[in-house]
């Protein structure tokens, strides 16, 4: 038995979260019956599943690396009929979609797969999968500019920052930078550099985690190797372990990195009393006497004798 959302994700319908949305909306049927139970389990070999009355068949997961040229869209549908990255895979029978989009003016590595679960983990910023870019910017960014990218730049949706930035080489009046991000907001690098007064002239993604573009020609595709898939899954599992540890520490405020749990601090009443020195007689509590107005005017404060 397998959870319905996992089955749909493996069939290339989308991420598990997206599949949960479809189920909750009543768009999924099992053996002709509409279902809305997010925890439902099915037998892939014995049950017939459909989405919007279209049969769902489990597909063999496929993984492709594509070198997207400038002018191609990362979406699977475009009403204007512009070229799409998926058009570069006419020989692939499975319904694949892109992992991490590149805008029309950008080029470089795209991963395309029908494995919705892995795609979700690679795209979600929570998992921090690094994406590496080579960026040609107008002008000569200073060391202070690069530090600002690392510290964070404020955009409309909040503060965004690069994981690493390195100056590569000059090209005329422009400069090549190597930028690594762990997020994927729309046109993030272009907007970050625009905030610093440097227009992006060219942008090429050269790696997603351990998968590298290398010498793959523009407009061509290759299968992601088994070794690369193992590395990708290891990246995801490492990120999931870190997230689980953070959640454990957040749930237990007394947890420590060394022992796992710190001894709670004893309440004040349970702490051993310290011996107290008796107060001098002149500071003993006693009845207060209000000085007369005449005494208040004539009284002066004695100054201690000088040490010299």
Q: Is 80 a catalytic residue?
A: no
Is there a contact between 203 and 135 (Cβ–Cβ < 8 Å)?
yes
Q: Among 37, 52, 80, 103, which one carries the catalytic annotation? A: 103
Run of H or E residues at 6: helix 4-10
Is there a contact between 255 and 248 (Cβ–Cβ < 8 Å)?
yes
Is there a contact between 216 and 222 (Cβ–Cβ < 8 Å)?
yes
Angle between helices 16-24 and 116-123 (to 10 degrees): 110
Q: What is the 3-state secondary structure (H, E, C) of 53-110?
A: CEEECCCCCCEEEEEECCCCECCCCCCCCCCEHHHHCCCCCCCCEEECCCCCCCEEEE
List active site positions. Answer: 103
């Amino acid at each position: 038995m397998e959870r319905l959302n996992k089955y749909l994700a493996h069939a290339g319908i989308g991420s598990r979260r997206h599949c949960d949305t479809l189920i909750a909306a009543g768009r999924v049927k099992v053996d002709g019956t509409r279902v809305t139970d997010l925890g439902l389990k099915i037998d892939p070999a014995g049950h017939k599943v459909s989405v919007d009355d279209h049969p769902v068949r489990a597909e063999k997961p496929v993984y492709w690396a594509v070198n997207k040229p400038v002018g191609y869209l990362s979406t699977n549908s475009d009403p204007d009929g512009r070229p799409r990255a998926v058009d570069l895979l006419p020989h692939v029978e499975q319904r694949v979609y892109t992992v991490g989009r590149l805008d029309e003016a950008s080029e470089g590595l795209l991963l395309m797969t029908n494995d919705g679960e892995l795609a979700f983990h690679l795209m979600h910023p929570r998992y921090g999968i690094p994406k590496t870019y080579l960026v040609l910017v107008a002008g000569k960014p200073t060391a202070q500019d690069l530090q600002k990218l690392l510290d964070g730049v404020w955009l409309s949706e909040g503060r965004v920052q690069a994981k690493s930035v390195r100056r590569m080489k000059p090209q005329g009046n422009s400069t090549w930078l190597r930028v690594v991000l762990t997020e994927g907001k729309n046109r993030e690098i272009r907007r970050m550099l625009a905030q610093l007064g440097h227009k992006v002239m060219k942008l090429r993604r050269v790696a997603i985690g351990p998968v590298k573009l290398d010498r793959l020609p523009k407009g061509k595709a290759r299968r992601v190797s088994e070794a690369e898939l193992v590395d990708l899954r290891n990246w995801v599992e490492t990120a999931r372990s870190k997230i689980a540890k953070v959640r454990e520490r957040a749930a237990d405020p007394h947890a420590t990195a060394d022992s796992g749990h710190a001894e709670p601090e004893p309440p004040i009443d349970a702490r051993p009393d310290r011996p107290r020195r008796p107060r001098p007689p002149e500071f003993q509590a006693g009845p207060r006497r209000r000085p007369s107005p005449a005494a208040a005017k004539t009284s002066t404060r004695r100054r201690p004798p000088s040490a010299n």
